Amino acid sequence: MAKSVSLPNGRFWKAQTAALDHFKNMLRRYADEQPVESYLDHDDLVALLERYDAVIVDGPTKIGRGIDYFFRRQNAGEGFSTPGFWVRRVDGSETDFSYIQAVKGQPKSNAQEFYDACRAAVAADLLAAKKRHFTAFADSTGRVPCDLTGELLAFPDAHLDHAYPTFGQLVITFRAARGWQHGAPNGTLTLPADAQTTTTFVDSAVAEAFRLFHHGAATLRIVARHRNLSMSAGQRRPKVKLPVQI
């Protein structure tokens, strides 16, 4: 049964998917760093942020001392950049917030946060490995073959895929080895904070331990970003033609 979404300003959608589409389309209407000038859009975002603060209570309030305006900004990390809504408060401080989490009305689970921290721990390694692979194997046009189809791919169109084990399997194995099957202990992961777009490990030694584990266990390959990987995901141990070296 579809879950409805109701905001404090009276906005109502019969299904979460409709609410998500509403805010996704709103985000598309604005350029990076452009303030949200539409009164209706601003009103919807205020109500959405009220919903966010009411549900996600394990960090500082996003509204803070009051809202000045909203704007769109790229949330950048190692090798990725995605647009999102940010809020500028009346005291001049700024922070990001996830409209997806706000609409769904639930914070990320401990397992999801742990997964994100593992991703952050190896993000620089993965980006460097992808760059080295292109330097070593790209043709005269700067393209390398997709490991699944042989299609020649430029760097932006190429996805660095964990062929086997999947990244999720690596995370689960690492957690189990530390006895954290039922959740990472308090103090392991960074708490939500202003402008923190991803969760990381508090202790750099844990991050380094995962890096070393990942380095020894991951088998990587280049595939097309648009490629549906459902077929290859069903293979227990797919054959990789040209592994990407970390």
Question: What average pLDDT does this structure show over 206-226?
Answer: 93
Q: How far apart are CA 208 and CA 210, in angstroms?
A: 5
pLDDT band at 232 (very low <50, low <70, confident <90, very high): very low
What is the percentage of the chain residues whose pLDDT exceeds 90? 54
Residue 230 has pLDDT above 60, yes or no: no
Residue 198's pLDDT is: 83
pLDDT band at 221 (very low <50, low <70, confident <90, very high): very high
Could you tell me the domains of the chain? 5-104 (3.10.450.40), 110-233 (no CATH)
pLDDT in tens, 138-163: 999 999 999 988 999 999 899 898 88
pLDDT band at 239 (very low <50, low <70, confident <90, very high): confident
pLDDT in tens, 31-80: 999 999 999 999 999 999 988 888 776 667 888 888 999 999 998 776 67
Q: How far apart are CA 180 and CA 203, in angstroms?
A: 15
CB-based contacts of 30-33 (< 8 A; 24+ apart in sequence)? 30/71, 30/72, 31/72, 32/72, 32/73, 32/74, 32/83, 33/71, 33/72, 33/73
Residue 168 has pLDDT above 80, yes or no: yes
Most confident among 17-31, 57-71, 172-186 (mean pLDDT): 17-31
Residue 1 has pLDDT above 70, yes or no: no
Residue 141's pLDDT is: 96
